[in-house]
Amino acid sequence: MLGIILGLIVLMVLAYIGWSIIWVAPIAAGVVALTGGLDLLDAYKDTYMGGFVGFAKAWFPVFLLGAIFGKLMEDSGMARSVAVALTKLIGTKRAILGVVVSCAVLTYGGVSLFVVVFAVYPLALSLFREANINRKLIPGTVALGAFTFTMTALPGTPQIQNLIPMEYFETDAMAAPILGITAALVMGVGGYFYLRWREKQLAAAGEVYTEPEDTKIMDVGGSTPLFILSVLPLLTVLITLNLFKWDIVTALIAGIILIMLLNITKFKGFVKAINGGAIGSVTAIVNTSAAVGFGTVVKIVPGFEKLTELLMGIKGNTLISEAVAVNILAGATGSASGGMGIALEALGSKYYEIAIDTGMNPEAFHRVASLASGGLDTLPHNGAVLTLLTITGMSHRDSYKDIFVVAVVIPIIAVAVAILMAAIGIN
């Protein structure tokens, strides 16, 4: 038990200071194996790599196609077209809402979080300039639209955080729709009103818009595809996944083909975009697989039985145990998918058995696991947070407080609301 805790501390501390989880996870797993009485070499070559390869085998096609889909949306100008149209519709007076909605539509349509940051930031600058809102709020605004309700809560979202639980609970992407929509409202509405309050607070202190030092990224000119055409690939992925019940792999392929057909005149750039997406997907899948491999080692040491007893012994609804496990591990790894992968690899089958034995709806376990993955994952060492701050030119000191409120505090509240609803039989 002590070894598991030490392994988690090693994983969290080394990830926090910026070391790659690709090689940190095996070290942390080694700590767990050594203190658990396992042979180090066998634990690495067989157990750790077994979990690593198993996850990669199951999910690499989704990571690969999702990244390619997002990169084609970005390079073709379709992502920007959708964002521009939505922000024009909402207006500059509601700049924060415009950015949140733009991020949400792109994320819910299957575009990766990292691509959304690049696509929306220039537009956010333009809107915040016209509304005279301090740029400190841009990271929090983008995080609310891309890192929260569309990633984990809205039923049917093709984001990986909503897909991973399907394997463990025999559910689909629309699992527990009422829980998901309610949690999405808590996150979206709560986060929006917080950001509006912060906007007024900064304005009262005389902190308004200032131009960034790097003005090149502010250019939002150039021609973009028509909005009606640009939104079609997003709708294709959503409809084929949820209405026609296609496999996510097939749904993403359909979206990719449609992007290329609608942008056939730009075919010379297809190879570059596909290459870029493919390369980016490798890092993402390896990071998550490394975290899952750690969870596989944890699962076989003797102390895991004690950890399971502690988690299962949490008083109240079993969903509380699941939420705590996923949240803590997502925070330790700095990854929503990685933390969820560890927790469900280790405890998913047990939670599913409990659901079946007690008559609880497995869909509730799916939705709570997904929601919980989007809480403590967004701590300062999270890769998406670091990318967001880098692109927007902000520091943790400038903007992390707002990211923390909208992407950590409020989502945790949303999980609690979902658990309460599930406890009274609402799914």
Query: In sequence order, what DSSP letters do the residues of 240-255 get, joined into one string?
Result: HHHTS---HHHHHHHH
**What value, to the nearest 5°, has the Cα angle with vertex 401 and ends 178 and 398?**
135
Residue 221 has pLDDT above 70, yes or no: no
Distances (CA, A) of 193 to 97, 98, 187, 196, 197: 10, 14, 10, 5, 6
The residue-averaged pLDDT of 405-424 equals 96
Q: 65-79, 294-308, 319-333 — which is least confidently predicted? A: 294-308
Residue 274 pLDDT class (50, 70, 90 cuts): very high
Chain centroid to CA 213: how far? 30
Give tens-digit pLDDT for 335-364: 898 889 888 988 899 999 999 999 999 999
Q: From CA 79, how far away is CA 224, in angstroms rounded?
A: 9
Residue 215 pLDDT class (50, 70, 90 cuts): very low
Q: Which of 102, 92, 103 is nearest to 127 (CA)?
A: 92
Residue 206 confidence (pLDDT):
94
The residue-averaged pLDDT of 279-291 equals 86
Residue with tokens 């049917």: 156
The residue-averaged pLDDT of 134-144 equals 96
Residue 72 confidence (pLDDT):
92
Residue 241 has pLDDT above 80, yes or no: yes
The residue-averaged pLDDT of 145-153 equals 96
Residue 409 pLDDT class (50, 70, 90 cuts): very high
Residue 237 confidence (pLDDT):
93
Residue 217 confidence (pLDDT):
43
